[in-house]
Structure 1
Amino acid sequence: MIDQAATNILKAIKVVVECGIPNVIDFYRSENRINSVGDALKLFAKDIFADSVNINNLHQKEEAHRKVFSWGGNANNPPDFMIKGGDAVEVKKITSTKSRIALNSSYPSAKLFANSPLLLSECRNCEDWQEKDIIYCIGCIDGKDTNQRLSSLWLIYGDCYAASKDCYERIKATITQGIQAISNVELSPTNELARVNKVDPLGITNLRVRGMWDIAHPATLYSYLNLDSNQKSFPKSFQMIVLMTASKYNSFPNLDKEYIELLKHQKHIGIRDIEIKSPNNTMQSILAKLFIYEI
């Protein structure tokens, strides 16, 4: 088992490669009575970070999670879980890699900040933190597959995927200010874009203005990397892609990096040092680490 407060994305890669990929939906339905496809994917994501995929006893599984996570998630507030002293993880389920990813009221995040109004106070106070790197864990469970198998899993850091929060906050603030500029309206404080009260003469109708954000799948964003170039020569049933900046990769413990580097010699595994476009300036590039596992 992983020691307390010692898990990270490189250990999660190790778990996936060594344990194999279960039929996620059937596996969690049978062992833990999970009915929702999305809930099953979230539990699988927690298990690969906590090295608890093969723990069948629900109580023991929860104990393993408590050792490494400071926040276990909430249905209506990000993130889905946070590693003690480490990264935050947001899990998203899609049915096709061509699908856009619904973020609902949360705009894309390069980093997670403790002062975000979308976080619950329990999340802010679960450990001493101000800022965390965030991993988007995006699982594709093909809606046309009657077995509902996990066909792809992306683990991508927010700073490889999203612009800085100023980019999104500017748009959000402009919309809110435009609504506030409407004459003769009664506004209430809200974490949404705006809330207008007593719209009609009787004063019985309110208007809630909510942001509904979505973002392209990373496979679309990174199509220039030719990630499917070997699809014809090697048909695959599962693909895991992990992307992070080179500086993030270098920040991990040497022992974990040594394991990852040894994987270069295994079949169906590729590790590349690459350059990606900066989410904040397409004229600039960022040194990054790309990991691909296919079976």
Structure 2
Amino acid sequence: MANILKAIKTIIENPISDLVNYYQGKNRINSVGDALECFIKDIFSEALDENDLNLKNQKYSEAFSYIGNQNNPPDIILKNSDAIEVKKIESLKSSIALNSSYPKCKLYSDEPMITNSCRKCEDWQEKDIIYAIGVVKDKKLQLLWLIYGDCYAADREIYQRIRNKINSGITEIPDVEFSETKELGRVNKVDPLGITYLRIRGMWGIKNPVFVYDYLFENIDINTFKLIAIMKKEKYLSFSSEARKLIEMISDQSFTIENVNIKSPNNPAQLISAKMISYRINN
């Protein structure tokens, strides 16, 4: 079964920082964002070295139950396992644009922004979600975060409360016509002819992990590629002993697994036992 620990091992065994050049010859991909998404799909499906596109697609089908699009989260669902949302930024300190989707502690099947295909890809109600955030500059992957949503985002009620309050406030405006929408609201017939409408959209964003977890490290040197994965300790222990041994037996000095305490996204006064896995390519 595809999982984050196998993906981490694949990265260590096959470190690739020059993403676009790597994928240009294989898939005719010129976009950095597309190259990053292909890289994430390849490391989770063990298809990184597969040059035959038919065989690569077969590996994708074996590893994933859903592959999405840019407009509807998530980007990937691992079969009977976690969801993955891929985000590209160009600076170590850039914020993460989430567009119309608020940050997700977990992915729920009843969320209005996901597609029916996603909802029906498996028999599921709730999934853990991984934020795969790549810092890409000059077509090279400098830093890759793999962070579980429950270490990064608050419970969905926090965000829904704000969204619902805005939505209900808009609908209280007198003498305007509203219609059902997945966005914050839509006002119809704004003008006397009734030919103008207003779409009201939310544009969500979240701080870069380098600021969220600044208490875990003094600085991050990205002169060479670096990987940082963060998950709750209970999540780490939920993987099979075989899966954990895959990375616990790695002897590379540039690879570490640390026990850390992170602030709860719901209450910063509480600390959560977590695992931080890191790897860097030395000069």
TM > 0.5 between the two? yes
Letter in 2 for 1:23: D
Q: How far apart are the structure 1 equivalents of 2:204 and 2:173?
A: 24
CA distance in 1, matches of 2:159, 2:206: 12
Does the alignment pair 1:84 with 2:58?
A: no
Q: Name 2:271's counterpart in structure 1.
A: 285
2:67 to 49, 72, 76: 72
Q: Secondary structure at the match of 2:2?
A: coil
Give the Cα separation in 2 of the matches to 1:38 and 1:241. Answer: 19
**Which residue of the other structure, out of 200, 206, 209, is the alignment partner of 1:218?**
209
- 1:154 counterpart = 2:145: yes
Residue 267 (1) aligns with residue 258 (2): no
For residues 242 and 14 of structure 1, the distance between their equivalents in structure 2, rounded to whole angstroms, comes to 12
- Where do 4+ consecutive residues of structure 1 move more than 3 Å? none
Q: 2:97 aligns with which of 82, 94, 102?
A: 102
Tell me by how many angstroms 1:228 deviates: 2.7
- Distance (Å, rounded) in 1 between the aligned partners of 2:252 and 2:144: 19
Matched, 1:23 2:18: yes
- The count of residues paired between Structure 1 and Structure 2 equals 281
C-alpha offsets along residues 225-257 of structure 1, whole Å, 9 cap, x if unaligned? 11537x4xxx74100000000000000010111
Say if 2:154 is the partner of 1:163.
Answer: yes
Pick closer, same or farther for the CA change 1:41–1:96 going to 2, 3 Å: same
TM-score by length of 2: 0.97
Match of residue 121 from structure 1:
116
Structure 1 runs not aligned, ≥5 long: 1-5
Asked if the contact 2:88–2:136 (Cα under 8 Å) also holds between the matched residues in 1, the reply is yes
Matched, 1:237 2:224: yes
Q: Which amino acid aligns with 1:277?
A: K
Identity %: 51
What is the letter of the counterpart of residue 192 of structure 1?
Answer: E
Q: 1:53 maps to what in 2?
A: 48
Using the TM superposition, give the Cα deviation of residue 195 of structure 1 relative to its aligned residue in structure 2, in angstroms.
Answer: 0.3
Cα gap change, 1:81 to 1:227, in 2 (>3 Å): farther
How many angstroms apart in 1 are the aligned matches of 2:52 and 2:252? 32
TM-score (norm 1): 0.93
Q: Following the alignment from structure 1 to structure 2, what is the Cα–Cα distance between the partners of residues 287 and 167?
A: 22
Structure 2 unaligned regions, length at least 5: none
C-alpha contact 1:138 1:155 (8 A) present in aligned 2: yes
SS at match of 1:72: strand
1:256 and 2:259 matched: no
Name 1:187's counterpart in structure 2: 178
CA drift of 1:75 comes to 2.7
SS of the aligned residue for 1:249 comes to helix
Larger deviation: 265-274 or 163-172? 265-274
